[in-house]
Amino acid sequence: MEKKFKNDVEALDALRNKYGELLKEITKVIYGQDEIVTQVLVSLFSRGHVLLIGVPGLAKTLLVTTIAKILGLKYNRIQFTPDLMPSDIIGTEILDKERQFKFIQGPLFSNIILADEINRTPPKTQSALLEAMQERSVTAAGQRFELDSPFFVLATQNPIEQEGTYPLPEAQLDRFMFSVWLDYPKYEDEITIVKNTTSTLQFDLNTVISREEIIYFQDIIRKIPINDNVLNYAVKLAAKTRPGNGMAAEVSNQYLKWGAGPRASQYLVVGAKTHAALHGKYSPDIEDVKAVAPSILRHRIIKNYKAEAENISVEEIINKLL
């Protein structure tokens, strides 16, 4: 995309306006989940990935398909099942007419990937996403293939079903910028949902941002300056989760087995930059770090036996850290 803004401040103003347009389109279909939508968009512009966790019927899949439509990006849905193989995601080699091996790209070669019910497939297949999510590339038959930009994985998971599911390994969880919990809608929102989904009412969704614009805004966000005190706060927050560390918080030493790694610090900073930009600020402050911290730390800290025995939740621990 050619630079069409005089300076970065003008570009950030344009990003905030685009964010408003995106929210307007998404809320035509998704009701009462404004905070969830914001976190998904923060992750998109931060070049992160999102794990959506919620009981069935909370429109997790609808949210992802709606976002894909209004972003104008190539989109693929992968339904994760116990018999899914890595080659079903990455692609496979076939023998062509000239008796030469040819690589046929799998559904992973897209801009937005919906990994539906990701915990229903074995770790062998889950691991097929590891390189793609971190390196934005895949290796098949000794060859490295670059994935298109932007590349954005949205995975869904049902927290209440245990039979036939495989817990995501910590290495896989750490690839997700955000772990977002979807709760039941408010009563008033549920009235609107039921009214609109049990009638003939339909909405036309408009594409409000292009692939080139998304990449441009992702680059602009990386250029946003951040004050040392905000940077220090973000890094200290991650360090406070690590038990046994000299900087560990009392609650971490008491209730945590493992804390968040350096990737959490990186995501806290870039997430704060994006959150600030989407809300009309030209530099993030500590409140922006706090806004993104729960979803970044939630899946990166592991409770110990004491926390389990006393029924202390991850949310309580994060609130004490903040």
- The residue-averaged pLDDT of 178-200 equals 79
Q: Which two tokens stand for residue 56?
A: 């069935």
Range of lowest pLDDT (1-15, 19-33, 38-52): 1-15
- Do the domains at 8-197 and 225-321 have one common CATH topology? no
Q: Which CATH class is domain 8-197?
A: alpha beta
Residue 44: its pLDDT value, please?
92
Q: What is the pLDDT of residue 286?
A: 93
Reference 125, options 162, 88, 174, 154; nearest CA is 88
C-alpha span between 202 and 206 (Å, rounded): 13
Q: What is the pLDDT at residue 42?
A: 93
Instruction: Please determine, for residue 32, whether its predicted confidence score (pLDDT) is greater than 90.
Output: no
Average pLDDT, the chain: 86
Domain extents for the chain?
A: 8-197, 225-321
pLDDT at 228: 93
Higher pLDDT: 211 or 204? It is 211
For the chain, give the percent of residues with pLDDT over 90: 27
pLDDT at 2: 47
Q: If pLDDT is split at 50, 70 and 90, which confidence band does 55 have?
A: confident
pLDDT tens, residue by residue, 246-299: 888 888 888 888 888 899 999 999 999 999 999 989 999 999 999 999 999 999
Confidence at residue 162, expressed as pLDDT on a 0 to 100 scale: 63
Topology of domain 225-321 in CATH is: Helicase, Ruva Protein; domain 3 (1.10.8)
Answer yes or no: is pLDDT of 49 > 90: yes
Mean of pLDDT values over 99-109: 83
Among 68-77, 95-104, 215-224, 283-292, which stretch is predicted with the lowest mean pLDDT? 95-104
